[in-house]
Amino acid sequence: MSKASIDWTKLGFGYEKTDYNIRYTWRDGAWDEGALTPDEVVPLHMAAACLHYGQECFEGLKAFETSDGDVVVFRIEENAKRLVRSCRKVLMEAVPEEMFIDAVCRVIRANRRFVPPYGTGASMYIRPLVLGTGPQVGVKPAGEYMFIVFATPVGPYFKAGFTPVDLVVEMDVDRAAPLGVGDVKVGGNYAAGMRASMSAKEKGFAEVLYLDAREKRYIDESGPANFFAITSGHQYVTPHSESILPSITNASLIVLAQEMGLNPDRRPIHVEEIFGFLEAGCCGTAAVVTPVGSITFGDRKAVFCDDGAPGQYCTALYEKLTAIQVGDAPDRHSWLHRVPVE
């Protein structure tokens, strides 16, 4: 099948219409078989629990075309597990891991012509979501759920791609509470952060860096991505916090950092430490590895990329990760799931 006519190298991170999405319904105690549909619109009861009480969670993962024309998905099993955790935390019907993997593969196969060609730097972003669709007026879990997976080809999340971005430490808004739902991927976390993120962008920053909500002393994460840094002792450090999303990209970078001799450590990171770091970065499925050029904290600024170029460690981590993702480097940790062709 010929490729969709898209200028792959000009893609940003947005929604592009593809051919199909897949939908499953949970009703009377069981998920159905799921069906592909070209319909982009979801019919929803006005009293659906997702609309009123936020019973919604989602995932984000990427598929890549390799040099031999296969399509591979990065760490799909981890996304499947995280979606189960998200569902359980907000009392939604969990999507079985096998069903998740099958759904993602069905959607990729149905939209094969939208998987960006090898070498373009673009990828297919897959967005699975679960909605509490059953009507409720009292605050309680929905009696019916819908699981949807759509796919869309994407380029870089931060406009300029692998180029340093400027962050600002957010002092006035908390994204998530320590005993809340910051550690799962529910839509409300993103709504909570939108005003901080938009106001940072108006001031010329790419994103905010949140501090822990309890003490306002330790770094949590950025709006759409985890945070990491390289210390003056050449160590990879990343925040330990109960209110951040456990990033699958970060977990992968920790493995790569270990292999690079960067002695990775997940620990509370005091915000004052930013002034001693050699490099800093954001990481996530959408953000991949995005070098941080500066962090503004009140009236002070920590600068990491004096010459405007990404640092050596961010560059090495980015190159190692992306080489594995597109199949150019050996998949030593079995991170790639080949999408079976039918």
When asked if residue 83 is in the footprint of ligand PLP (CB under 6 A), the reply is no
Query: Which partner in ligand PLP, ligand COI, none is near 317 (CB below 5 to 8 A by kind)?
Result: none
CA distance 53 to 50: 6
Q: Residues 8, 20, 53, 60: which binds ligand COI (CB under 6 A)?
A: 60
Check 62, 159, 185, 216 and give the catalytic one. 185
State which of positions 208-227 bind ligand PLP (CB under 6 A). Answer: 221, 224-226
Q: Provide CB contacts within 8 A for 50, sequence distance 6+.
A: 44, 56, 131, 132, 133, 142
Angle (nearest 5°) at CA 263 between 257 and 265: 95
d(C-alpha 273, C-alpha 305), whole Å: 16
Task: Give the Å distances, CA to CA, from 224 to 175, 182, 319.
Answer: 11, 12, 21
Residue 17 a catalytic site member: no
181: partner contacted, choices ligand COI, ligand PLP, none (Cβ within 5-8 A by kind): none
Q: Which of residues 208-237 bind ligand COI (CB under 6 A)?
A: 224
Q: 34 or 223: whose CB is closer to ligand PLP?
A: 223
Q: How far apart are CA 263 and CA 235, in angstroms?
A: 6
Residue 252 has φ and ψ, to the nearest 5°, of: -70, -40
What size, in residues, is the chain? Answer: 342
Cβ-based nearer residue to ligand COI, 130 or 302: 130
Q: Does residue 193 bind ligand COI (CB under 6 A)?
A: no
Give the footprint of ligand COI on residues 232-291 (CB under 6 A): 284-286
Is 136 or 285 the residue whose CB approaches ligand COI more closely?
Answer: 285
Annotated catalytic residues are: 185
Site for ligand PLP, rule CB under 6 A: 60, 221, 224-226, 245, 247-250, 284-285
